Structure 1
Amino acid sequence: MIDTLLLPFQLPFLQNALLITLLMAPAAGLLSCFLVLKGWSLMGDAVSHAVLPGVVLAYMAGIPLLIGAFLAGLFCALATGVIRDLSRVKQDTVMGVVFSGMFGLGIVLYTQISSDLHLDHILFGNLLGVSAADLWTTGLIAGGVGLALLLLWRDLLLLAFDPVQARMAGLRVRLLHYGLLVALSATVVAMLSAVGIILSVALLIAPGASAFLLTRRFPAMLAVSVALAMIAGVTGVWLSLFLDSAPAPTIVLILTGFFLLALGRHLLRRPVLS
């Protein structure tokens, strides 16, 4: 019985899957908190979808796919901000137009080339096919993003709650704003090989949303968000072997379950207004 339960930890490809989820989880969990507080959940969706044309163009140009993905995601994030500032259109509307347009462009470009680039792996990831190079790339990117967020969390927190006060306090608001967008694009790229474009959205939203409902202090929110992301990652990979399911969607379902449990706890503890 014990040998059966420990089987996922003995298979090399599952060991790599577990390791890359543990590498991704801290950066995704930390960033998720800031996205939730700033109301940027849709921004994570937009950036994750926008990387597709960058991946295809990078393949056509013969350069690393991650470079194309990062540049495309960064372009989407910056373009959204510029269009919002120059027009009367609200940010959520701009993001909807930009990310759907870039995702459509990526699909059209993909159909025009003949390659061994599997669209399913780009969209949904290939967690069971993670290589040593993927582990190094994800570890370096996620580690850098996580460290930057930990060092700047107080400044970013003030920016999320009160940009005017942050500016009066002498913070470089514009630099922090675009730095957070760069961190978002980099994190999506770090998760690209493992969970793909679509499923990365859940890792960027669900941990922070659940932690927001479970905690009252921001440091605790950061810790709980990272813990939920790591637990969901390990449990999802382990459980997928016995359910004969794909690991990434299983992780997403567990994260969704965490959010529903957190929401239920929040509603039960909330006082009833008469």
Structure 2
Amino acid sequence: MFNLLFEPLSFGFMRDALAIAASLGILCSVVGSYLIVQRQGILGDVIAHAVLPGIAIAIFFGIDIFLGAFVCGTFSTFVITWIESQSRVKVDAAMALVFSGFLALGIMLISVLKSKVDLHHFLFGNILGVTTEDVFRTLIVTFFTLFLVKLCYKELLFYTFDPLGAEASGLPVNIIKFGLTAAITLTIIASMQAVGVVLVISLLIGPGVTAYLLVKELHQMMLLGSVIGIIGSVGGLYISYYQNVPSGASIVLFISGLFLLALLFSPSQGILTRPRAKKLR
């Protein structure tokens, strides 16, 4: 038993992968909780695809792709807000338009600028190929995001559940919204290395929505979601190691399995275990 647990740790690439997986399990759960409560889970998928033009441009000019992806991903959310505020187009339609438009622009720029972007890596990730630098960068993003969430928790809580009330009370809602957008974008960029844009939304939403079925308070959802995120990420990596299957897909399927268990057996929300309403006589 102990041999099964410690054997993967003898390899440096597995230690780096496990470290970044555990960090992302926490980061994605905390940030994803706000998306779930605000019913904007699809926004994560939009940003994940919208970063491609920034990556192509960054590679062409020889700058850090992290910076290019962040600027482009953040800009995509401003475009969505601008379309919604300046027209009759609803936010879901604006998201769909930006999603497809930015993805097409990214593919076009890769061709025009001859940027050497590995689309397979971009789409599906490669957590086993992360470097020590990637691990430290992800840890910095995680600690920085958690610190800001802790520091501004009350304001974020107020804005999340009552944005109009938060604005009326004098809170800087535009700054709060930008901060959440920046946190979401940073989380997605960090997660892309692990699972790619195709699967990143599951890592961002899966742990939080699983916890949502088990607890009622937002802070409880974040804490339990972080535990579920760590278990799912690390467990998926161990399965991929011993079964020789793709790591990103293994992580997402492990988290999806935990969600299915919560969906069926949650004490209050489970399909098979929730209290049944008494029949009227």
For Structure 1 versus Structure 2, the TM-score category normalised by the shorter chain is: over 0.9
1:69-148 alignment runs, 5 A limit? 69-114=69-114, 116-148=116-148
* Partners of 2:21 and 2:234 within 8 A in 1: yes
Aligned to 1:39, the other structure's residue is in SS state coil
Question: Which 5+ residue runs of structure 1 have no aligned equivalent?
Answer: none
Letter in 1 for 2:204: L
Identity of aligned residues (%): 34
1:247-262 alignment runs, 5 A limit? 247-262=247-262
Matching residue of 2:7: 7
Aligned to 1:214, the other structure's residue is in SS state coil
Coordinate RMSD, CA, aligned:
1.6
Letter in 2 for 1:131: T
CA gap 1:2/1:68 in 2 versus in 1, 3 angstroms: same
Matching residue of 1:192: 192
Letter in 2 for 1:205: I
For residues 278 and 210 of structure 2, what CA distance do their matches in structure 1 show?
24
TM-score, length of structure 1 as denominator length? 0.94
Letter in 1 for 2:31: L
CA gap 1:168/1:119 in 2 versus in 1, 3 angstroms: same
Deviation of 1:273 after TM superposition, in Å, equals: 6.5
Letter in 1 for 2:56: V
Matching residue of 1:44: 44
C-alpha distance after superposition, 1:214-261 (max 9, x if no partner): 101222111111111111111111111111111111110111112111
C-alpha distance after superposition, 1:9-49 (max 9, x if no partner): 22111111001112222221101110000111011110011
Deviation of 1:155 after TM superposition, in Å, equals: 1.4
For residues 167 and 155 of structure 1, what CA distance do their matches in structure 2 show?
11
For residues 101 and 9 of structure 2, what CA distance do their matches in structure 1 show?
41
TM-score, length of structure 2 as denominator length? 0.92
1:193-212 alignment runs, 5 A limit? 193-212=193-212
Letter in 1 for 2:274: R
Matching residue of 1:153: 153
C-alpha distance after superposition, 1:67-98 (max 9, x if no partner): 11101100111111111111111111110110
Number of positions where the alignment pairs a residue of Structure 1 with one of Structure 2: 274
For residues 39 and 95 of structure 2, what CA distance do their matches in structure 1 show?
12
Matching residue of 1:241: 241
